[in-house]
Amino acid sequence: MSDIEFPDTLIAPERTAWEEHRAGRLTVATANAVQDAITAHAKAVGMPRVEVEMALKRAVRHAEAAG
């Protein structure tokens, strides 16, 4: 899946955003919170934001495939 370890402070907002998206009720506030968290994490670990975002989405959206 992903070699990146994500803290719950990053997993939880992405899960919320994914659930809202699937229900057709994703808000701008939720999307912005996820993007802000991804940007901060990417900067903290020294990785490109897009790589962190893609790995996080795989980790959350495809977690059932790993289990």
Reported as a single tens digit per residue, the pLDDT across 15-64 is: 999 999 999 999 999 999 999 999 999 999 999 999 999 999 999 998 75
Higher confidence at residue 67 or residue 24? 24
3 in a structural domain: no
32 in a structural domain: yes
CA distances from 27 to 23, 24, 34, 51, 55 (A): 11, 9, 11, 23, 22
Q: What is the pLDDT of residue 64?
A: 59
DSSP label at residue 26: -
How many domains, in total, are found in the chain?
A: 1
- Residue 28 burial by Cβ neighbours in a 10 Å radius (0-12, 13-18, 19+): exposed
- Measured from the Cβ of residue 7, the count of other Cβ atoms closer than 10 Å reads 10
Question: Structural domain of residue 66, as residue ranges?
Answer: 27-67
Q: What is the pLDDT of residue 1?
A: 41
